[in-house]
Amino acid sequence: MSAGKIYITKSNCITPLGFDVVSNWDAVQKGISGIRQQQKTGLLDNFYASVIDIEELNTAFHSIEKSEGFSRLEKMLILALQPLMQSDKISDRTAFVFSTTKGNIDLLENETAQIESVQLSVLAKKISDYFGFKTQPVVVSNACVSGVLAIAVAKRLIQSGMYDNAYVVAGDVVSEFVLSGFNSFQAMSASPCRPYDAGRNGVTLGEAAAAVYITSSEEEVNNHSFQILGDGAVNDANHISGPSRTGEGLFRSIASAIKEAQIESDSINYISAHGTATMYNDEMEAIAFNRLGLQNVPVNSLKGYYGHTLGASGLLETVLAMQSAVHNRLIVSKGYEECGVTQPVNVITQKNEVTIDRFLKTASGFGGCNTAVLFEKVK
């Protein structure tokens, strides 16, 4: 296995708050949320979600390609990846890693849709072929850890010596299938979600796409690059939808990342947490952070701005966390007013300027999956 360093050197995102990183950073600094009340769909009425305006999406996509033959999600994925692409960087040693939970599942709302059109492998190959990748796509679909797990997978593929670099793209859309699924768990919030808050009562869904370029080449590193120090992914096998009450899987995932990074936990300056605003997830995270002595580290959830973007969430939130570190400025955890977990957590309530050299990104999901990745700013 290669002992070389692995870096993220480029990133982009497509969200209801903007179609590039700068727009999204400016929006969250102003406290703007993409969550809006939506019209009735299926069994749901007056629900909240963060949804990309279809006319804005089509206009942006028309600037690079004709819309015919591309789904809503495909347009988002292509727009996210396009600014990062360099044809001279694509070789038979370039990996293409695609992350999603549901892919084109919304196409099944059309009675004439073919089953093949919603297969994740078919979607991944379509995006891969569009950009001319020479290797077979690697699909990461592991519930809500998929986005951040895709970073860990790309890192390990490069460390193994199989690839020199990788493009990672993640995306999911708000569909009737997803909405009805979360509603069946009685997990949908009746108002915009409030992670870690005493008044939280469930998740708000959202849609987005995000992309990063990962490389082992020191020559490609710039002053906005981040080294991927370590990662961990542990399944607690607790329940099909409920996390471990002791935070065991997340605890072990973070501990594994810290061990690989060979750092002390008190050198972590910021945590970008999962923070779904469900009763059990937020409580579990607070317990895990306390077990690791991380309760005083500034922590936020970006779900109050974007909703839960499923397979895109981990990657999108990493992109915004990198911006937070670049600017040495914290992002307020929107919706939080009063602590609603039993263990102390240092939830960010002010966009203070602080030194952020290292940050931790965590995610947890259905089936007991958990992932943690540690990043360090290149100086």
What's the confidence (pLDDT) of residue 246?
92
* Angle, CA of 234, 238 and 242, to the nearest 5°: 105
- Domains identified in the chain, total number: 2
What is the C-alpha separation between 324 and 321, in angstroms, rounded?
5
Same structural domain for residues 136 and 234? no
| 314 touches 148 (CB < 8 A) | yes
* Residue 202 placed within a domain: yes
- Whole-model pTM: value is 0.96
CATH no. for residue 338?
3.40.47.10
What is the C-alpha separation between 336 and 305, in angstroms, rounded?
12
Same structural domain for residues 198 and 325? no
Answer with the one of 204, 220, 236 that is the final residue of a domain.
Answer: 220
Same structural domain for residues 357 and 293? yes
* Residue 2 placed within a domain: no
Same structural domain for residues 324 and 254? yes
* Residue 169 placed within a domain: yes
Same structural domain for residues 42 and 176? yes
Same structural domain for residues 210 and 232? no
* Residue 40 placed within a domain: yes
Same structural domain for residues 197 and 265? no
CB-CB neighbours of 183 under 10 Å: 16
Answer with the one of 220, 241, 276 that is the final residue of a domain.
Answer: 220
Identify the CA nearest to 34 among candidates 284, 320, 330. 320
Q: Is 362 left (phi over 0), alpha (psi -120 to 50) or beta?
A: beta
Written as tens digits, the pLDDT of the chain (379 aa) is 455 899 999 999 999 999 999 999 999 999 999 999 998 776 677 899 999 999 999 999 999 988 789 999 999 999 999 999 987 889 999 999 999 999 999 988 877 777 888 999 999 999 999 999 999 999 999 999 999 999 999 999 999 999 999 999 999 999 988 898 888 877 889 999 999 999 999 999 999 999 999 999 999 999 899 999 999 999 998 888 778 889 999 999 999 999 999 999 999 999 999 999 999 999 999 999 999 999 999 999 999 999 999 999 999 999 999 999 999 999 999 999 999 999 999 999 999 999 999 999 999 998 999 999 999 999 8
Same structural domain for residues 256 and 177? no
Same structural domain for residues 117 and 214? yes
Same structural domain for residues 72 and 165? yes
Answer with the one of 191, 220, 249 that is the final residue of a domain.
Answer: 220
State how far the alpha carbon of 42 is from the alpha carbons of 36, 38, 39, 181, 194, in Å.
Answer: 18, 12, 10, 12, 25
* Residue 1 placed within a domain: no
Q: Which domain covers residue 369, as residue numbers?
A: 226-377
Same structural domain for residues 117 and 66? yes
Same structural domain for residues 372 and 273? yes
